[in-house]
Structure 1
Amino acid sequence: MTTTTRFEGFPDEALSFYDGLEADNSKAYFTDHRAVYDRAVRGPMLALVGALEEEFGTAKLFRPNRDVRFSPDKSPYKNHQGAVIGMGDGDGSLYVAISADGLAAGGGFYQMSKDQLVRYRAAVLDDAAGDRLVAVVDALRAEDFTLVGETLSRAPRGVDPAHPRIELLRHKGIAGMREFGSPAWLSTPKALDRVRTAWRALAPLNAWLAAEVGAAEAVEGDPRAGRRPVSPRGAGV
């Protein structure tokens, strides 16, 4: 996803667009403000991931439309614009999003297939691999990342609830997420450096996941690998 447009930051209009969408999540609002979305949201996001492509790879932008087929929430549009690198290749993912709350960057496995989860738990239970993950997570938290991903409400079956790594063992998906909010630099090229630094900080987590978990096994009847990693704010590229 290359672009010749230089990234200059996300203008205030991007946040205002999503403020309005949260108040009126309708096709009429989106249609009336489509030019703002293209100019202040989609355009800068394309420029951002284009500037990062040489180092991190090609990103895919998530669609603005929500998949409402199986959701009780029928609002037609997502309240953020996300982009992701690494969809189901086993090497982990990198994620960036803009919303009314500002900028966020993250990465990891937001969702794991059954076979990935088996390997993940086995690795966390192993003292050497498990301790390496603890060190990775501690380093991310020291850089203001939050650990995200679906978790069980209790210990997995057969696991001692008092296990020293029980927090990690309860995860069904694991990723680091850093919420930057909307500081003054958001509307400047400095936002590119913040995302780049965040993605570099996530390299040890994605390396651990690639080594210990890997890609999902193929699903019978589906030529693709199992479930793709999804964004923490809604799936569907």
Structure 2
Amino acid sequence: MDFFHSQETLRSIEWMLRAIIAFFFLLIVVKVMGQRAISQLRLLDFVITLVLGNIIAHPLSDEHLGMKGSMISTVVLVVLYTGGLLISLKSRRIEKILEPAPFPLIKEGEIIYKGLKKARISIDHLLAELRKEKIEDVNKVALALWESDGKISIFLDPKYEALTPAIYQMKTEPFDLPRTIIKEGKIDSTVFAEINKEEGWLINTLNNHHQTEVNNVLLATIDRKKDLKVFLYK
């Protein structure tokens, strides 16, 4: 176990052992810290990002450290990371450890306090997440789940869901993503071929309907109906 302590030099196998120990040690530490510490990353992703950044940074900032050890450690960690992903796909037990199943924080309008303790978040944090989804009342929530990446999935009670055309079997226009035709006073000429128009048409439209010129436009978009939306510098 001498490789575990400070040494003048380390052999390749000792660098590998250090990397393996550090990898599994960090897995345990992050699990103990809780899912909130993962900050919307999977457990393996969080650990590998944290470790690799430090491994590569040290030899680049310390002239007394060679690259050999860092490169060996990096290769070992990448192998462990890839192996962990493959094993989690084949082993249900390992998958549950690395990516735990979601658990409820709110169910049928009632806050599950045990879920809050398990997720290690406060009621204020939960209410803040509800406000982000424009939900002002906990009673409107049918189910809120704490996901393995630290996010909260929220499902409203059906009676509070927004009405949509599909409910009334109404016909709607197909989805149309407007194209940017002017950005920061510059025209994107590639859009004209798609809308079968010329630059002169755009300039005239700006003058006649918006009483402005191209260099005054912060953003202008156009849809397939030739509807031009103009946003000026202010």
So what's the TM-score if we normalise by structure 1?
0.26
TM norm structure 2: 0.26
Structure showing greater relative contact order (alpha-carbon pairs closer than 8 Å, 6 or more residues apart): 1
Higher-Rg member (1/2): 2
Comparing both structures, which one devotes a greater share of its residues to helix? Answer: 2
